[in-house]
A and B are shown apart, each in its own frame.
Chain A
Amino acid sequence: MDELLQALVEGILIGSTYGLIALGMGLVYGVSGIVNFAHGDFILLGMYMCLGLYSALTLDPYVSLIITLPAMTVVGALVYRFVIRPIASHHLLMVVQLTLGLTLVIQSGLLMVFGGQGQRTPSFVEAKLFVVGDIVMRGPHVIACTISFALAGVLFVILRSTDVGRSIRAVHQNARAAALMGIDVGRVQTIAFAIGIGILAIAAALLAPGASIQPSDGLRYTVITLLVIVLGGMTNFVGIMLGGLIIGCSEALGTVYLSETLGGLLPYAIFVSIMLFRPRGLTWGTS
């Protein structure tokens, strides 16, 4: 029983960050209709930036956000504006291949600069443990969960109550009507993409402390994000966070209860089961 609870707690802790990451992708998909295959690789980019900044300036990953957040947001805006947007009106699959090219560039770039063996970024919270009853929780995980939920909340408020957020929702709900209201649809899409990448910078800082990373990890995060976002109904806020928790827990339960190989299978099996019976994902109501 304890084992189960421990696994569930870990699943929730990591799943909340999966949800946050997927919200970033959902934002971009809702506004420009594209799926960024390099999503996971941007996370790795952020994590390696934390590593680099630690090596150079002994900055804790959370502190290096001061640099990585604006840097990645700007990079995101530039990449969208000059590489992706010109192609965004074409076949979705072609855009996906473009982002696949980005995956190769980022992944290999990281490989060239940092090498392929696993490396980890230390952090002052690395060894901290939170103990509640018989459940042990690692410091970085608790921080990640808290900030993920908080950030999701902030994002929700921004979308609901600010003009920028309303513009984003307007473009998502009816791009033509939005344009008729004088909204610059292209600019809103660029902003949404930049926000999405900014979220990834934060997620990277949350995931980095103590974790061993390799450039090829990006694909894994991309696949997880895809599973979460489809489970969540593509643009449904609550659905996506819930999807994140489900995938997080499936992963955790899989590794604890099943063998190494079968454990990896569980998230996929659960994904397929849910999708077959709810093809629109975990949505209720709309949007």
Chain B
Amino acid sequence: MMRAELWKTLRSPLLWVVFAIAALGPLEMSSYYLHVATLALIYVALCSAWNIVGGIGGQISLGHSLFVGAGSLLASALLLKLGINMWVGMLIAAVLSGALGAVIAWIDFRFRLGHLSFALITLAFAEMAEIVAIGWDFVGGASGLLLPRDTGDFFAFQFGGGRGSYWAALTVAAICVLANLAILNAPLGYWLRCIRDNEDAARAIGVGVLRTKMLAMVISAMLTSIVGTVYARYLAFVDPYQLVSPLITIEIVLFATVGGLGSAFGPALGAVVLLPLGEILRGKLGGVLPGLHAFVYGLIVIATIMLSPRGLLPLFSSWLGGKAAPESKAPA
């Protein structure tokens, strides 16, 4: 039954139109807008990956910068310091992130953390990771790492900058959104939502809480790490203050929530709307007066939430008269 839902969504013409536009768009874009679009896609991927635990699972993890950091810093360090191919580095970082994610999920289960405790403990881990990364020379310390110039050598994990990087970002974004769709329409998604809405009841009906949470976290962590590697390659300069900081987590959670938690397309929508908004505001107003662009951005975020408190996706769906996203409930 659920499989049918998945195929129905995949066959939706709107989805293919959007994808086509996204895929062919760069043929017409200037390099500035291409850059913004690439960043937006990276965040689509990050937010969608986070959504697996945060939205569908209802577990507010504030530690995902850990996985971004692993994917970006570690893979880059492995390449620069040990000469390991970045594809391999990406996999190593992903496995490590998955393991970390499993540990975090286990801690949550073993110590019966409430939602706020879980959020803060993951935040604590993330802050600690930032401090460690900045002090550890192997991953570049405070000065970061500089990746070799992107010459488009695919086997060296290079995409050629410009359009090539855009399509790489589009690929990971698509993978992450597809992962959401797949999970939502599979037993895993069902169990996650049961746990989200009432963990005790879920346990009572036999849902394997630890196994489910762990699986979700591992998938989310690995995907996030992979995106982190692509992100690092795109930026070429791997700055721990940017990539391992709680700031990136704040952005991810902001976009995912405002877009519409728990649905497959909500976080993507949030990223597509809010990231370019931020970048363009910074571009246009950044030089005028320090702080002005963030001020305006904050006002827009407030206004958006007040106008559409259930997220942007429900707003969108009603315009298109279509499929409502699965409602997410507030944690207890």
CB-based contact A275/B131 at 8 Å:
no
A40 at the interface (CB under 8 A from B): no
Chain A residues whose C-beta falls within 8 Å of the C-beta of B331 in the assembled complex: 92
CB-based contact B294/A107 at 8 Å:
yes
CB distance from A55 to the nearest CB of B (A): 19
The answer, among B127, B131, B135, B302, for a CB contact under 8 Å with A98, is: B302
Given contacts A92-B330, A276-B107, A279-B117, contact A223 B306 (CB under 8 A): no
A74 at the interface (CB under 8 A from B): no
A158 at the interface (CB under 8 A from B): no
CB-based contact A265/B131 at 8 Å:
yes
Contact size class for B? 35 or more
Given contacts A104-B295, A105-B299, A115-B290, contact A275 B113 (CB under 8 A): yes
Given contacts A97-B258, A223-B123, A279-B113, contact A104 B301 (CB under 8 A): yes
Chain A residues whose C-beta falls within 8 Å of the C-beta of B121 in the assembled complex: 271-272, 275-276
CB-based contact A215/B306 at 8 Å:
no
The answer, among A109, A261, A276, for a CB contact under 8 Å with B295, is: A109
CB-based contact A94/B257 at 8 Å:
yes
CB-based contact A109/B291 at 8 Å:
yes
CB-based contact A271/B330 at 8 Å:
no
Given contacts A93-B253, A275-B113, contact A116 B301 (CB under 8 A): no
Chain B residues whose C-beta falls within 8 Å of the C-beta of A97 in the assembled complex: 253-254, 257-258, 301, 305
CB distance from B332 to the nearest CB of A (A): 10
A245 at the interface (CB under 8 A from B): no
Residues 299-332 of chain B, each 1 if its beta carbon lies under 8 Å from chain A, else 0: 1011001100111000000000000000011110
CB-based contact A101/B302 at 8 Å:
yes
Within 8 A of B (CB), among A32-54: 35
CB-based contact B107/A265 at 8 Å:
no
What is the bound-complex CA distance between A104 and B295, given in angstroms?
6
Q: List 28 A-B contacts (CB under 8 A).
A: A87-B305, A87-B309, A90-B330, A91-B328, A92-B330, A93-B261, A93-B330, A96-B257, A97-B257, A97-B258, A103-B298, A104-B294, A104-B295, A108-B292, A109-B295, A110-B291, A112-B289, A112-B292, A112-B295, A116-B291, A230-B120, A261-B135, A269-B124, A269-B128, A275-B117, A275-B120, A276-B111, A280-B114
- The 7 tightest CB contacts between A and B, nearest first, are A104-B298, A111-B291, A101-B301, A108-B291, A108-B295, A105-B298, A108-B294
Task: Give A residues with C-beta under 8 Å from B.
Answer: 35, 83, 86-87, 90-94, 96-98, 100-105, 107-112, 115-116, 215, 223, 226-227, 230, 234, 261-262, 264-265, 268-269, 271-272, 275-277, 279-280
